[in-house]
Amino acid sequence: MAKLELLPLWLSIVLSLPILSAAQTTRGINVLFVNDESNSVAEKALDVALNYVRRTASTGIQFDSFLRVSSNTTDAKTLLEALCDKYDNSLKTEKGPDLVLDFTQTGVSSETVKSFTHALALPTVSASYGQDDDLRQWHFLSDDQLKYLVQVSPPADMIPEVIRSIVLSWNISNAGILFDDSFVMDHKYKSLLQNVPTRHLIAAVEEPRSLKRQLNRLRDLDIVNFFVLGRLNTLKNVLDAANANKFFGRKFAWFAITQEKGQLKCSATNATILFLKPEPDPTARERLEKLRTDFSLTVEPEIASAFYFDLSLRAFMAVKQMMDKNQWPRLEYTSCEEYEEENPVVRKGYDLRRALREVQEPPSYASINVEDRNGHSFMEASMRLEKVTVMNGQSVSAEVEGSWKLGLDSPLMIKDVASISNLTAASVYRIVTVIVRKEIWKDMSLNDSLSEVERAKLAVWDYPVGDKYTKMWQAMLDAKMPEDLDAAVKRVRSSVSSSDGFAYLGDATDIRWLSQTSCDLQMVGEEFSRKPYAIAVQQGSPLKDQFNNAILQLLNKRKLEKLKERWWSLNPEIKKCDKQDDQQDGISIQNIGGVFIVIFVGIGLACVTLAFEYYWYKYKRNPRVTDLAGGPLPNAPRVGKGGGLGGQQQGRLAVIGRPDEQAAKLDAATLGQVLGQGYNYRRNGNQLPGVNQAWQH
């Protein structure tokens, strides 16, 4: 009996053991919070979340340490030193961060925090701006890293996506997008209207005094659809400037988008504007009102403060639930000084992403959707689409026309498309209907087959009208057109002769290719009626300028010429065929080349003959001595072998010369001087003694 009485006592002790062990293993959460100094909405929303956790015992959340790092610089090194200082100090006190709450928005601060958490493998929940390609430091993450490095896009990052939905829904060809500092658009320049044929420009709103000039610059770029993202006062300033420039009317379309709650106001005389603003889910209105009154969640924009509050609370509760289920073992940390890039920190078994999905805390504004990839998680809030009519500076009506749910490529939900279809900028088309033809077309040709009556019915032309194309068209109709190119080529090859057969009239490119790849086909005549190839795009599409620039670059770099040479000159498919003679070719160098060859050969032979004769008469012929006088001459000079004058030689006078040289007449006085004799010579017929007529060589 005693043993039976002790049994309930033992059972109570055994049943109480798990409860005691769970209570003993419960520990607080260590959090490292990083935020931009300019993001005051996130800072205040976090304070409300901490106050909510402290005052709500049902959450069971306790904090062992809560460290804050504020980024107020664009220097990555300074921010990294601040992070490492806080982090290393927490390791010294054995309170390393279980969770990093990253509320930095974009730029250097966001990239620095991403690099820090990625390198040290710290579980992180981030509310930074950007999609897949924008988170460069978290772009190439493994499956294990994706489980504890989680990014959720804030509402201000998703709201601009409504512009893409509007442009696609209404087929808008141009857009001017203006924004203020309540939206971050740095990463939207390349992705907002990517792969959308809309010419657009994204720019920050300038100061009120220069807004009119900014709108005029956009109008000079032929932009008539304007999207304005910002606070309500920013929207008012832009719309007032548009009213001053008279940019309201049928030719313009205005879309005002904001995160704030309230009514749209402007001083326009007569304007209709499509106004989009967020609204909470009906199921979350009561909780939002309670947070506003009991916990002072009053910071604006309301949707942004509610998002940061919900994300902070869900992150704390996710870590708490994983600790309670023993799914969150104590982390092994590596300090900044001990970190080596060659030995990266590996962490497995921390599925923070799944725990965030499983949190059952009701939302305060709208539910947060956590996807498997970063850049695709966001708050699923809705925006109300209103058609606001302004008359003489007063909002006359604000009709609800539809809604749009935050998301990537989320469609617009319109109640009545016809009611807002006329709010977009009107496209002006010029349509001309021909009532009476201005030209007179000659539909028949004067030939021998016409009778005299038919000839009399022909009109008399005041100017000559060629009927070449008329005859070609008639011949095409008589011959019956082929179905395709292959059928045409077959009919050409089956022709009996060139005079009695089939000739194909078609695209010059096809015909040139066929004639160059087949020796049995030839292109007759020259090209006519040239029409350039063109790429058709939507009117006003930005692809037009992109195509033009690309083609100009290819022309300037001579790439088109290289491609043409590659496909038309160096193509192995092209065959070398014997060229047929054509009478229309005229006289070319090939026809008269022999004449030039004969001329050059004759010139060469003449030069050879001249050289031979010069050599022969100069070096091969011996000199001959001619006796000019029979008797001896006293004291006569002697002519040597070299042709000079020497001593006496038997008193005889001789001249050395060549018979082929031209006869030279010697003057008697000159000869007397040479001989040293004083002979008198008269030009009356007297001659020197012993000289027969004139002296000759």
Angle at the Cα of 177 (from 175 to 182), degrees rounded to 5?
A: 160
What is the tens place of the pLDDT at every residue in 148-198? 999 999 999 999 999 999 999 888 989 999 999 999 998 888 889 988 889
Average pLDDT over residues 666-682: 47
Which pLDDT score, from 0 to 100, does residue 463 have? 58
Alpha carbons 568 and 580: distance in angstroms, whole number = 20
Q: Exposure pattern of 119-130 as b/e (b: 16+ CB <10 Å)?
A: bbbbbbbbbbbb
Residue that the structure tokens 């869900």 belong to: 314
Alpha carbons 678 and 695: distance in angstroms, whole number = 18
What is the tens place of the pLDDT at every residue in 82-136? 999 999 999 999 899 999 999 999 888 999 999 999 999 999 999 999 887 788 8
Cβ–Cβ < 8 Å for 312, 102: no
Strand bridging mode 368-369 / 412-414: unpaired
Which pLDDT score, from 0 to 100, does residue 644 have? 42
Joined tokens for residue 192: 């907002």
| Confidence grade of residue 684 (pLDDT, cut at 50, 70, 90) | very low
What is the tens place of the pLDDT at every residue in 598-607? 899 999 999 9
Average pLDDT over residues 133-140: 86
**Comparing 290 with 5, which gets the higher pLDDT?**
290
In the predicted structure, residue 18 carries a pLDDT above the cut 60: no
Which pLDDT score, from 0 to 100, does residue 194 have? 87
| Confidence grade of residue 1 (pLDDT, cut at 50, 70, 90) | very low
Which pLDDT score, from 0 to 100, does residue 287 have? 93
Alpha-carbon separation of residue 331 from 98, 210, 324, 570 (angstroms): 7, 55, 16, 67
Please name the residues in contact with 370: beta carbons below 8 A apart, sequence gap of 6 or more: 150, 152, 353, 356, 357, 377
SS3 letters across 463-502: CCCCCHHHHHHHHHHHHCCCCCHHHHHHHHHCCCCCCCCC
| Confidence grade of residue 405 (pLDDT, cut at 50, 70, 90) | very high
Strand extents, DSSP E, 61-180: 63-71, 99-102, 124-126, 149-151, 174-179
Name the strand (E) or helix (H) holding 626: strand 624-627
Alpha carbons 109 and 113: distance in angstroms, whole number = 6
Joined tokens for residue 606: 């003449």
Name, of 368-377, 436-445, 564-573, the range with top average pLDDT: 368-377
Average pLDDT over residues 527-531: 79
SS3 letters across 333-381: CCCCCCCECCECCCCCCCCHHHHHHHCCCCCCCCCEECCCCCCCCEECC
| Confidence grade of residue 291 (pLDDT, cut at 50, 70, 90) | very high
Which pLDDT score, from 0 to 100, does residue 7 have? 39
| Confidence grade of residue 403 (pLDDT, cut at 50, 70, 90) | very high
What is the tens place of the pLDDT at every residue in 19-74? 333 333 467 899 999 999 989 999 999 999 999 999 998 888 999 999 999 988 77
Q: Please give the share of the chain, as a percent, with pLDDT higher than 70.
A: 76
Judging by beta carbons within 10 Å of its beta carbon (0-12, 13-18, 19+), is residue 325 exposed, middle or buried? exposed
Alpha carbons 357 and 490: distance in angstroms, whole number = 69
Alpha carbons 196 and 542: distance in angstroms, whole number = 9
Joined tokens for residue 547: 């195509």
Spell out the domain ranges in the chain.
24-154+300-379, 160-258+261-283+381-423, 605-697
- The overall average pLDDT reported for the chain is 80
DSSP 254-306: EEEE-SS-S------SEEEEEEEEEE--GGGHHHHHHHHHHS----SSHHHHH
Reference 95, options 34, 26, 30; nearest CA is 30
Joined tokens for residue 658: 């060549």
Joined tokens for residue 388: 């606001």
Q: Exposure pattern of 180-201 as b/e (b: 16+ CB <10 Å)?
A: bebbbbebbeebbbeeebbbbe
- CA 93 to mean position of chain CA atoms: 54
Which pLDDT score, from 0 to 100, does residue 633 have? 46
In the predicted structure, residue 445 carries a pLDDT above the cut 60: no
Which pLDDT score, from 0 to 100, does residue 13 have? 36
Which CATH number does 160-258+261-283+381-423 carry?
Answer: 3.40.50.2300
Which pLDDT score, from 0 to 100, does residue 231 have? 94
Which pLDDT score, from 0 to 100, does residue 282 have? 92
Which pLDDT score, from 0 to 100, does residue 436 have? 54
Helix (H) and strand (E) counts in the chain: 21, 19
Which pLDDT score, from 0 to 100, does residue 362 have? 92
Alpha carbons 8 and 567: distance in angstroms, whole number = 96
Q: Do the domains at 24-154+300-379 and 160-258+261-283+381-423 have one common CATH topology?
A: yes
Residue 421 DSSP symbol: G
| Confidence grade of residue 437 (pLDDT, cut at 50, 70, 90) | low
Reference 386, options 262, 472, 509; nearest CA is 262
In the predicted structure, residue 423 carries a pLDDT above the cut 50: yes
Lowest-confidence region among 227-236, 254-263, 492-501: 492-501
Reference 93, options 71, 67, 115; nearest CA is 67
What is the tens place of the pLDDT at every residue in 198-237? 999 999 999 999 999 999 999 999 999 999 999 999 999 9
pTM above 0.85, yes or no: no
Which CATH number does 24-154+300-379 carry?
Answer: 3.40.50.2300
